[in-house]
Structure 1
Amino acid sequence: MSSTYERVEAAPRAFPAPTRSPGWRRRESELLARVMSAHADVATALDQELAVPGVDRDRPGRSADIVSALTWCCIERLRLSSVATAADTARLCRLVADLQQLSSELYEHELSLRTRRLADCSAGLARLRSLPTSGDLVDQVCQELVTRCGFGRVVLSRVDDGLWKPWKGHFSDGAEMDGWFTPWIDQGIPLDELMLEASLVRERRPAIVYDTEAPTTEIHRPIIVEAGHSKSYVAAPIVPGGNVVGFLHADYHPSARRVDDVDRDVLWAFAEGFGKIYERTVLLERLRAQRDHVRETLAAAERMMDELCDSGIDLAKHPDAGSIVARSAVSALSGGSAVLDELTAREREVLELMVVGATNGAIAEQLVITEGTVKSHVKHILRKLGAVNRSQAIARYLGIAQVETDD
């Protein structure tokens, strides 16, 4: 049973089973069987042990190369027509024709498989696009790659200050994987120790490792190899907004099947799409937060205005200059201006940004200061305006500004 691992458990979201029909697996098995038969037929026809390697079911992508090599073996023997009988020549010609037909079918199968898997990739991205939050996205991306795109396991990791940090994982054999992946979550691994992953950041393109036991791969052994015992895997960077923020690693474990170029292209297409969806979702989240903050600010200002309007203050139509009403009005006008005059230029800037609903973080970014400095300015503003919170300070500022405008 599949399971998703993360530091904080989240409620799983149900996804339908992959749309891809298992028929492509049967077709692949049929073609591999025909390649094995052709290999035996050529060895018999040439009456010798072939230098061409046999079929490896864990590497079906090599079948086309094997068929091509067998074809050239037959053609080379035909060139020696002086030592071949007519029957041998006819047999070799039939073999060449059969091998050409098989090569064509292998090509068509690979093209069809690539198209089908990219369509599954597109369907998986469409489902992720419907998720409401960035948290849901990172929770589901690995599961979608396994269930929708056919991988055995997928690991999502973050890139932070030159460190690679494993983050999420989804495995077709969860019980077996829990023992090795969970201890690695959020463990910082220097990228300069991992040449392949460092190249993903530098070149911003996918990579494939056909055989982790080859000598050339000893210099980079990520956790999917070191702890997960992967024999072959693909990796792709996640690049929202032009910056590499993470990686996706995938393989077929626990199956012995090796990855191929189609797997690399599928993972890269998914990583590119996921990066764009993640960037869009984060932007929408920020816009919603700003919208909600503005709504709260306007609602608070409206409440303050309603309180002022409903306070029952009666103003004299023609107060005399020495009356209490006149003196109070003059005091309010001069006092409001005086309060604003007490604000420093920077405090005025902060207050104006508060009025339009900017958060402390947004104010800090706009004025190129720290959030701590913004908080200090806000504290001084509240004290000088005699307000107990931001909403009250905004309401008083708007009231003073309106009076000054009317004057």
Structure 2
Amino acid sequence: MTVAAELEALNGVQRALAELREPATAGTVMDRGLRALCEHTRFSRAILFRVVGSELVGEAIHFSEQPEWAAELLLESRRTRMPLHHMVLETEMLRRRTAGIVAHPQDDLRAFKPLTEPFRTRSYAAAPLLPAGQVVGFLHADLYFEPGQDVDELDRVVLAAFTEGFALALHRAVLVDRLAQQRQELRRLLGEAGGLADTMGALDAQLSRADEDLHASLRSAGSRAGTAPADERLQSLLTPRELEVLQLMAEGATNAAIARQLVVSDQTAKTHVSHVLRKLRATNRAEAVSRFHAITQRASG
């Protein structure tokens, strides 16, 4: 292993990681990352596994040749999950959180034969993904399409360096995806809230119109029944307590005076006055008293 070879290998890692700088979805980062690894380093095959419980499940794959075979093996890696128990070499890598080499998987009892055999693996390097201090997956890579060549220590270092940057790019993409989903959910909730507000606004308008209709009906009834007592019409609109308040208002009583007269708090008296103003559609006390006198005068006239 020469210094020139090491520099060239690390330059390849930098070029591969440079292709992951642009923001993208998690799926795009996976595909782009595996392809970049095979294009800028010695590796010709790469597969990404994710940790599901205590198993490794194939997530993405890239072969520099024979893409149809790659697709078949990705499906196989999803059907045949690699268990992470003490006999599997990946378990040791997971525990140590370091990259490793499996030199002779066909002969090594610790290699997972249900996958190494269909992959026809001669040797491979593997590295755990630790984007936030926790192993979430593994990246496997080999030199299958380079006849007579097996992975070596430099390949292990290259894969470890690439996987560190790849894990961060993938973690960022996952967070961006989640943020996009949350924004979409927020827009949906805001849309529902807007619809509810429109509905409430329409209901409020209907209630206002109904209130106006009620007042109009009462005024009309009062004008038609000129001999009907004023109290009868006002009773249809105000509560007995509010009638008392209106009478005191007509006599010029202040809120404090109304409170003393009715033996209630000043705030309660103020609330009664507000209700009277609203029900008489009056903007102030003077207007309410004026309407009160108008009704009573019509009744007596």
State if a TM-score over 0.5 links the two structures. yes
CA shift at 1:212, angstroms?
4.5
Instruction: Give the match for residue 126 of structure 1.
Output: 18
1:135 CA drift (Å): 1.9
**1:243 aligned partner:** 134
Unaligned runs of at least 5 residues, structure 2: 216-233, 240-301
SS in 2 for 1:237: strand
Q: How many residue pairs end up in the alignment?
A: 214
Cα distance change of structure 1 residues 262 and 321 upon mapping to structure 2, 3 Å threshold: farther
After superposition, residues 131-170 of structure 1 pair within 5 angstroms as 131-170=23-62
Larger radius of gyration: 2
The answer (yes or no) to whether the contact 2:105–2:111 under 8 Å persists in 1 is no
Whether contact under 8 Å (2:19, 2:32) holds in the other structure is: no
Q: What is the rounded CA distance, in whole Å, between the counterparts of 1:144 and 1:292 in structure 2?
A: 31
1:14-163 equivalent positions in 2, closer than 5 A:
61=1, 110-163=2-55
Whether 2:84 is the aligned partner of 1:191: answer: yes
Counterpart CA distance in 2 for 1:251 and 1:118 is 17
* Preserved contact between residue 59 and residue 74 of structure 2 (Cα < 8 Å): no
Deviation sequence 1:346-399 (CA, Å, 0-9, x none): xxxxxxxxxxxxxxxxxxxxxxxxxxxxxxxxxxxxxxxxxxxxxxxxxxxxxx
In the superposition, the TM-score normalised over structure 1's length comes to 0.46
2:20–2:32 Cα contact (<8 Å) kept: yes
* Percent of aligned positions that are identical: 30
CA offset digits 1:94-124 (Å, max 9, x no partner): xxxxxxxxxxxxxxxx323323332332332
CA, structure 1 residues 169+197, in 2 after alignment: closer, same or farther (shift >3 Å)? Answer: same
Structure 2: distance between partners of 1:154 and 1:284 = 25
Find the partner of 1:226 among 117, 137, 143: 117
Call closer, same or farther: CA 1:222–1:236 in 2, change over 3 Å: farther
Q: 8 Å contact 2:77–2:115 — kept in the other structure? A: no
1:227 deviation in Å? 2.7
1:261 pairs with 2:153: yes
1:268 CA displacement: 0.8
Instruction: Report the counterpart of residue 323 of structure 1 in structure 2.
Output: 237
On the 8 A contact 1:180/1:227 being kept in 2, the answer is no
Question: What runs of 5+ residues in structure 1 fail to find an aligned partner?
Answer: 1-60, 62-109, 327-407
Q: How big is each residue's C-alpha offset from its partner over 1:51-76, in whole Å with a ceiling of 9 and x where there is no partner?
A: xxxxxxxxxx4xxxxxxxxxxxxxxx
Give 1:194 shift. Answer: 4.2
Is 1:208–2:101 an aligned residue pair? yes
Residues 309 and 218 of structure 1, relative CA distance in 2, 3 Å threshold: closer
Structure 1 residue 229: Cα displacement = 2.8
- Partner of 2:184 in structure 1? 292
Q: Is the 8 A contact 1:193 1:220 kept in 2?
A: no
With over 3 angstroms needed to count, the CA separation of the structure-2 counterparts of 1:176 and 1:302, relative to structure 1, is closer
* Cα 1:143–1:303 shift into 2, 3 Å: same
Normalised TM-score (structure 2): 0.61
Q: CA deviation at 1:298?
A: 2.3
Q: Structure 1 residue 287: deviation in Å?
A: 1.9
Structure 1 residue 322: Cα displacement:
4.2
- Aligned equivalents of 1:115 and 1:177: distance in 2? 33
